[in-house]
Structure 1
Amino acid sequence: MKCPLLYLLLVATLGFCPQSFAADAPAPGFTPYLSPEEEAKTIQLPDGYSLQLVVSDPIIKEPVVSAFDGNGRMFVAEMRTYMQDIDGTDEYSPKGRVSLHWSSKGDGVFDKHTVFIDHLILPRMILPMADGLLVNLTDSNDLWLYRDTNGDGVADKKELFYAGGARGGNLEHQQGGLIWDLDNWIYMSVNAIRLRQEGTNTVREWTASNGGQWGIAQDNYGKLWFVNAGGELGPLHFQEPIVYGAFSANGQFAPGFAEVWPLVGLADVQGGTIRFRPQDNTLNHFTATCGGEIFRGDQLPTDLRGDLLFCEPVGRLIRRAKVEVVDGITRLSNPYEKSEFIRSTDPNFRPVNLTTAPDGTLYIVDMYRGIIQEGNWVKKDSFLRPKVQKYGLEKNFGRGRIWRLVHKDFQPGAASHLLDESPAQLVTHLESPNGWWRDTAQKLLVLRGDKSVAPALTIMAQTSTNHLARIHALWALEGLGALEPALIREKLKDEHPQVRIAAIRTSETLYKRNDKSLVPDIQQLTGDSDPNVVLQVLMTANLLTWPDYTKLIETTLASTSSSGVKEIGNQLLRPSSSSATELTADDKKLMTRGEAVYKELCFSCHGSDGKGMPLQGGKPGATMAPPLAGSKTVNASHEGIIRVVLKGLAGPVAGKTYDAQMVPMESNDDGWIAAVTSYVRNSFGNESSMIYPNEVARVRAELKDRAEPWTIAELNTSLPHRLANRNQWKLTASHGSATAALAIDADLSTRYSTGTQEKPGMWFQIELPEETTITGIELNAGSSVHDFPRGYKVELSNDGQTWGQPVAAGHGTTWMTDISFAPAKTKFIRITQTGRSQHWFWSIHDLEILKPGELVKASASVAKKPATSAFE
């Protein structure tokens, strides 16, 4: 391909063409911008396709997502402070906005533009409603509804729609997709919840953790589709609707599916040499997948409809995936041989989001910038930073384009005016061939709440020859609260299996309202000829915990010949991974929160089993991040894992340098860190004591002046160390004092024991040979796994007579009780039992006292390789 005319001078003077950077090419020092017209020439498309520019810089800058309201007006979220230099300086200043664009003539030419909302902190999710726009900002889980009450295209009213509270973490690890699903619930990526309006309230339900990052989509049947960049996974958890579980299946990807075929070879990829081809420096594998969409429009070729499309901005390409469902299992494949659906030779082409438009085409959000990775991934000494600087990618920012993908055999459809139509008119659009029209009409019907259309919807559900219209009619009735059991019972026998599935799913709402009359009818469908219907029966039974639902699943699995039913059904029966032995109600809440955090964020590098996510294309057994199962850092002193989560970890671990190492998570609150660390310490075979927010707060305060991630050497030096003079300790106890010395005899087969059931007031005391600064205690119950303290307090004294206020108080949960507290100088230590057990003694097979480590200064010489992000 020839260089654009704009660059003939560059070619003559520098000897390079920006479309063909080679591994040994001289560094140009910058990667020039192209005008939209010149950029379009660099974008490779299948025969018959072309791009039309919808809106471009300077009207928009740093666009990340677009969405259409019922009248076809396009909202665009603009992260105008995103990476305006290589370090992300002032990234969180309130300069982001949501702009609004529309065609005054209804001809598809967006000639009118306003700033709908200004002065926002990195807006990340938008969703048009009936009379306003839901908006979410970075570092927050709140959703705000903005309205324009005077019709000037500028929001003048704001109200809280959902109070989700503050959140932290890198901005690329936060939620980045918002959708009104077919089931009338609002879902988002990352966060394992769904929301729904009931009257003036917004209700919340938990879902399985979706594992998604940037973007979210649905297909014609309401199944949500997520893509994950951080784990280099691409699409994931797409087997069934996420509300029923995060399922995967063997063979769900065709061989080589994750391999990508870009045209740009700059090697500006996080992950180092394993992630690009040495012969041409092109990206070789998913690393930045985002912005997925199931194309459901009617003005592009029919063979594209129903395909999954998603962006790979590091590769400057858009992947097309054929979706095939066989025997209840969904499988994806790349229809192009060593190629892609859309790709560009312009290094600044950065597609990040896709959407099916009202006009039946596909819209592409192109951030059009040099560097796509957030500042955490391009810190000093990272692999990526010199690559960015070599080509001056950090200098290219403040632009953005939105493209319309069209085809020579189709014309974009008519303009929409759904906001101006009556409920009766909206019903007719449920038969539209364009999924956007069907979705929007249903959403508006539900939001308006006009039940006068219920008879028309019922007739459509019964008689329409379009099975998609029958499905939407059922869900519209469900959303209006007008769905009758008789209609569901009728539709359980519909000729189309997806209508039968919709009937089962809509019945769940009636079941929650205590109408359980449909259960026998639905149970009969375990014998349905379509495995997808059978699976829906099992998933509904499991979700609603029908009486004897486990037996129903087991019986169905024993009788079915469908491998898909067996595979997904067995996953329904899979037990929880938590292994903590005794948890209080508050502990369980902390663990539940930690599990959600892990499954939203951590699994993509550390794996669902805590053994590390396999590194595709790496050496056998290579993983993206260190295993957490059995990790000394995880299971030993509380401070180790707290310090790593707060400040991150760089450099080799156990002699290995991992592709995805820990970045700082200190922007999250103490409860968040306590939750995820407690979960990790009590999952994947780990059994260690819980970590609580007050401990995190103490360690955070100690590290307030540290800015750099730890290295393993620095971490080990900084952690508490065991006192080495156990043979000089004097031990006494209120009960079983004769056995006290067995707690420190270095023989785990022996033990100190109270000899009677635990009760408040029992104490165990250690006298040190001299005053010593200590910071923790380890109580190991060994093989007496139930004999840990149900409650404890730790007091210190210099003379064994006068005791200070407790330096620690809490309770054990498993055989190892780790007690940590602020460093304090003492000669006597007393551990007093404050809990009670009717069955178990208090036993100590081994006891250790910990002294503070040395807070070393961060080393500037260690190469710090960051973790992967949402865009990469």
Structure 2
Amino acid sequence: MIRHLTLTLSLTVAAFAQAQEAALEFPPKPPVHALTAQEEQQTFQLPPGYHMELVLAEPDIAEPVCMAFDGNGRLYVAEMRSYMRDIDGTDELVSTSHVSVHWSSKDDGKYDQHRIFAANLKLPRLLLPLADGVLIGETDTNDIFLYKDTNGDGVSDEKKPVYTGGPRGGNLEHQPSGLTWANDNWLYTAVNNYRLRWKDGQFIKQDIPGNGGQWGGTQDDDGKFWVVNAGGEKGPLNFQNHILYGQSAARAQFEPGFEIVWPAMGLRDYQGGPGKSRDDDTLNHFTATCGGEIYRGDQLPAELKGDLFFGEPVGRLVRRTKIEVNDGITILHNPYPQNEFLRSTDACFRAVDMKTAPDGTLFICDMYRGIIQEGNWTKEGSYLRKVILQHSMDKIIGKGRIWRLTHDTTKPVPAPKLISAPAAQLVETLAHPNGWYRDTAQKLLVLKQDTSIVPALITMAQKHESPLARVHALWTLEGLNALTADHIRTALKDASPQVRKAAIRASETLADPALEADVTTLSKDSDPTVAVQTLLTAKQMKWKDHAKLINTTALTSPSKGIKELAGQMLNNQLSFPREFSNQQKDMMRRGQAIYQELCFTCHGLDGKGTALEGLPPGTTLAPPLSGSKLVVQSDFILRVLLHGLSGPVNGKTYQAQMIPMANNPDEWIADIASYVRKSFGNSGRFIEKAEVAKLRKEHSGRMTPWTTDELKTFGPQPYANRKDWKLTASHNPNDLTKSIDGNPETRWDTHTPQVPGMWVQIELPKALPMAGLILDTAKSKNDWPRGWKIELSQDGKTWDKPVLEGASPTTVTEFLFPKPQLAKFIRITDTGSVKGLYWSIHELEVLEPAVAAAK
């Protein structure tokens, strides 16, 4: 589910924290009590001049998790009423939640009318009003429905499917949220590796890179989609460019210490325990960031405009983030050294969503509850469970508040009336100082598809004094299918870099080859962000010489930002070996999308593990996948994906434990397993979904994660007696010891391209049972034998019929025998050939049969 509700960050603790925890006792302490909204209001700490005003509270709402406004300012709230009703999450996945709607009968900003707009929902998580209805998506499904209230009583009486995505499995934190209609007229969500577009009353889908977000999404004035993530302990991520162009990061994109948090009160209700807290029990680091919003309103001080706000509900605070763009690089700052913009001393303040409101202020959704972690991390024996019970936090449920952030300078404004407004009025609204108005007006104009206002939009795009109005006019033309190459050419010459960037992006929608030269000219733009957008578009559109353009621009530009981001563009390619079949490439693409959605925050984009700042080099959040024997050997990875993994891995205990993924389909498991086994220098074989189905059935009754000791009983394990082997080979025998020295950086190779008949022979100290071989090619990943024959012998003279033979057009290093064999001599013969490539072995292993049958 949402990262701030589940806190998978610290699922197991570091070894030093475990030792501390073992020594701790958890005697009962005075229970945490729920405060009234008026009492909670007194606990807020804000900079001078700012205030928190109550908008809604229980019983009018309960368990609110996200919110959205329609064109007339009515407030819709998704309420997860079945979420963690007790410490075990009993009956959580039942359809007892709903979306409520609230409005002011006097248009004075006081919400005195309340209705259940859509009832009997399963943990609703997607919410976006259109013109005549509200889009709603629930948990465990990708389907989206449009709910309509046809008689105006505030209760929906019509439900229509508009996107059928099918069931969605996996943990609750790994499901979409933050549905956002962006400037480019596409709808984006956190987590998903696709975007949606409204067309003829339905959504069409387009695959894009996964953004890594976990709860909530927002856009800035440029239309860049922003998300935050807790798993990587860094908060915002992939914000250097629009996610359409791929995941991105830059050196020094956070000020030093950005990830350190400064709560006003301490209570260790997070799985990291002592290792994640100071001596006063306050949280010391991001662990549950969520609900981000770029403030774009007009009734708070101008210093806040364009800043990113997001919640840290475990720290009972809201982080204000100052966004600086320096030489094309986006850098994030906390403007309150050793402090936060908003803090509370109430243990139940849980800020999980934020929205720029029609009245120009910032609304903050407070789930207000005791337990904020999902049941996967409050199980028997967990650190969290002990703390929750110690403070009786499981008793505080069924509440929730919505707050309005105001300032001494805030003025009341009338409620909007945009849904029935004439198209001409909506065009004028594209210049409104409040970004909510601009976004809503553009959305409604695109939904209306009234082309009579095209001339007014053209005039605005070319002549309006506000660059933001010109940007919205340009994209509204695009949404009406009225954008032309001439409009683009005019905007490419605009005095505002913001408009030039929008024009470059909008040119992609025309796919007009004649525009390539016009756009390419801006690779030399004086504004680095415009030049970067030019390069991104060139790559996205796959222009013939885009790589040359990127490289030349990087070499000739004085901008360090351009050089750094251009280097990423050249290296961030989505390609797979040509030897892979089309089916295998499809598996890799699907697996990569899953990895970039869910896995990279802990395991790193390079598979080497996400480094933890402030700790010794090499300390990572989760085990490296690159070179992992758990990944490559046998079916270990499938068991881990299905049921999770706990405890030490290779003698180390990591903060991020692998959680079960068994709710996902067999194909999903096979895709991500195959991708990891074929990436990051790994050379395992592809996994078929039938293998997943077999293991799923075999362990259908298992409810707990595996340990590495348990896994070793299922699959073959390498013999440890390599120092006693005698190795010979047809080619370069002197280097054979490099294949068994335990160092994957060294290798044996043939010193000449592969040809049939090359062989390597192993003589064991005595006849041993064996289940197969590993011929790891490591960094020499193209040097696998294109054909092979494996023979066994008791005396090295008489050889049995080959126990295994075959050929492979793709990397293979794992050779498992049909059944265990007993032999003293093993000969591997290369029966294939490949032009210009050696046969290499970095690590040679003989596998001992599993020591126990699966249970």
CA contact (8 A) 1:361 1:412 kept: no
- Counterpart Cα distance in 1 of 2:602 and 2:650: 17
Give the TM-score, by structure 2 length: 0.85
Residue number in structure 1 paired with 2:170: 169
CA gap 1:789/1:60 in 2 versus in 1, 3 angstroms:
farther
- Counterpart Cα distance in 1 of 2:808 and 2:698: 24
Stretch deviating more after TM superposition (379-388 or 248-257): 379-388
- Counterpart Cα distance in 2 of 1:304 and 1:749: 61
Residue number in structure 2 paired with 1:674: 670
CA contact (8 A) 1:55 1:401 kept: yes
Kindly provide the CA deviation profile for residues 725-772 of structure 1, in whole angstroms up to 9, marking residues without a partner as x: 99xxxxxxxxx9xxxxx9xx9999799xxx9989xxxxxxxxxxx9x9
CA contact (8 A) 2:576 2:585 kept: no
SS in 1 for 2:42: helix
* 1:701-712 equivalences in 2 (<5 Å): 701-712=697-708
Kindly provide the CA deviation profile for residues 81-128 of structure 1, in whole angstroms up to 9, marking residues without a partner as x: 111111111111111111111112211111111111111111111111
CA gap 1:181/1:396 in 2 versus in 1, 3 angstroms:
same
Q: Report the CA distance between 1:617 and its aligned residue.
A: 3.4
CA contact (8 A) 2:713 2:850 kept: no
- Counterpart Cα distance in 2 of 1:484 and 1:694: 51
- Counterpart Cα distance in 1 of 2:435 and 2:749: 70
- Counterpart Cα distance in 1 of 2:343 and 2:308: 16
- Counterpart Cα distance in 2 of 1:749 and 1:343: 60
Q: Report the CA distance between 1:481 and its aligned residue.
A: 0.5
Q: Amino acid of the residue matched to residue 667 of structure 2?
A: G
Residue number in structure 1 paired with 2:494: 494
- Counterpart Cα distance in 2 of 1:570 and 1:852: 46
Residue number in structure 2 paired with 1:327: 327
Structure 2 residue corresponding to 1:571, chosen from 560, 568, 572: 568
Q: Amino acid of the residue matched to residue 383 of structure 1?
A: Y
2:591 maps to 1:594: yes
What is the count of residue pairs matched by the alignment? Answer: 790
Residue number in structure 2 paired with 1:412: 412
CA gap 1:756/1:613 in 2 versus in 1, 3 angstroms:
closer
Q: Amino acid of the residue matched to residue 713 of structure 1?
A: D
Q: Amino acid of the residue matched to residue 471 of structure 1?
A: V
Kindly provide the CA deviation profile for residues 310-348 of structure 1, in whole angstroms up to 9, marking residues without a partner as x: 000000000001111111111111111211111100000
Stretch deviating more after TM superposition (124-133 or 361-370): 124-133
- Counterpart Cα distance in 2 of 1:163 and 1:329: 38
2:545 maps to 1:554: no
2:230 maps to 1:229: yes
Q: Report the CA distance between 1:632 and its aligned residue.
A: 1.3
Q: Report the CA distance between 1:576 and its aligned residue.
A: 4.1
CA contact (8 A) 2:783 2:840 kept: no
CA gap 1:446/1:320 in 2 versus in 1, 3 angstroms:
same
CA contact (8 A) 2:786 2:834 kept: no
Residue number in structure 2 paired with 1:452: 452
Residue number in structure 1 paired with 2:403: 403
Q: Report the CA distance between 1:132 and its aligned residue.
A: 1.5
Residue number in structure 1 paired with 2:10: none
* 1:509-524 equivalences in 2 (<5 Å): 509-511=509-511, 515-524=512-521
Residue number in structure 1 paired with 2:852: 854
Residue number in structure 2 paired with 1:802: none
Q: Amino acid of the residue matched to residue 687 of structure 2?
A: I
Residue number in structure 2 paired with 1:473: 473
Q: Report the CA distance between 1:352 and its aligned residue.
A: 0.3
- Counterpart Cα distance in 2 of 1:213 and 1:190: 6
CA gap 1:810/1:98 in 2 versus in 1, 3 angstroms:
farther
Q: Report the CA distance between 1:779 and its aligned residue.
A: 7.7
Q: Structure 2: where are the runs of 5+ without partners?
A: 1-23, 723-729, 731-735, 742-746, 758-766, 790-803, 824-830
CA gap 1:586/1:251 in 2 versus in 1, 3 angstroms:
same
* 1:682-831 equivalences in 2 (<5 Å): 682-721=678-717, 813-818=810-815
SS in 1 for 2:76: strand
CA contact (8 A) 1:234 1:289 kept: yes
SS in 1 for 2:177: coil
* 1:220-299 equivalences in 2 (<5 Å): 220-278=221-279, 280-299=280-299
Q: Amino acid of the residue matched to residue 318 of structure 2?
A: I
Residue number in structure 1 paired with 2:122: 121
CA contact (8 A) 1:579 1:683 kept: no
Q: Report the CA distance between 1:142 and its aligned residue.
A: 2.0
CA gap 1:815/1:157 in 2 versus in 1, 3 angstroms:
same
- Counterpart Cα distance in 2 of 1:141 and 1:252: 33
Residue number in structure 2 paired with 1:763: none
Q: Report the CA distance between 1:855 and its aligned residue.
A: 5.3
Give the TM-score, by structure 1 length: 0.84
SS in 2 for 1:352: strand
CA contact (8 A) 2:209 2:247 kept: yes
SS in 2 for 1:638: coil
- Counterpart Cα distance in 2 of 1:533 and 1:377: 45
SS in 2 for 1:314: coil
CA gap 1:326/1:750 in 2 versus in 1, 3 angstroms:
closer
Q: Report the CA distance between 1:202 and its aligned residue.
A: 2.8
Q: CA RMSD of the aligned region, Å?
A: 3.7
Q: Report the CA distance between 1:819 and its aligned residue.
A: 5.2
* 1:54-133 equivalences in 2 (<5 Å): 54-133=55-134
SS in 2 for 1:418: coil
CA gap 1:254/1:24 in 2 versus in 1, 3 angstroms:
farther
CA gap 1:109/1:780 in 2 versus in 1, 3 angstroms:
closer
Identity %: 52
Residue number in structure 1 paired with 2:608: 611
CA gap 1:749/1:208 in 2 versus in 1, 3 angstroms:
closer
Q: Amino acid of the residue matched to residue 344 of structure 1?
A: S
Q: Report the CA distance between 1:785 and its aligned residue.
A: 5.7
Kindly provide the CA deviation profile for residues 226-261 of structure 1, in whole angstroms up to 9, marking residues without a partner as x: 111112111111111111222211121111111111
Q: Report the CA distance between 1:661 and its aligned residue.
A: 1.1
Stretch deviating more after TM superposition (593-602 or 381-390): 381-390
Residue number in structure 2 paired with 1:353: 353
CA gap 1:156/1:825 in 2 versus in 1, 3 angstroms:
farther
SS in 1 for 2:119: strand
Residue number in structure 2 paired with 1:388: 388
CA contact (8 A) 1:790 1:813 kept: no
Kindly provide the CA deviation profile for residues 138-167 of structure 1, in whole angstroms up to 9, marking residues without a partner as x: 122222222222222222222222222222
SS in 2 for 1:551: helix
CA gap 1:376/1:444 in 2 versus in 1, 3 angstroms:
same
Kindly provide the CA deviation profile for residues 165-193 of structure 1, in whole angstroms up to 9, marking residues without a partner as x: 22222101222221000111111111121
Q: Amino acid of the residue matched to residue 679 of structure 1?
A: Y
Q: Report the CA distance between 1:825 and its aligned residue.
A: 9.7
CA contact (8 A) 1:786 1:815 kept: no
CA contact (8 A) 2:228 2:292 kept: yes
- Counterpart Cα distance in 2 of 1:63 and 1:813: 50
SS in 1 for 2:532: helix
- Counterpart Cα distance in 1 of 2:840 and 2:350: 59
Q: Amino acid of the residue matched to residue 357 of structure 1?
A: A
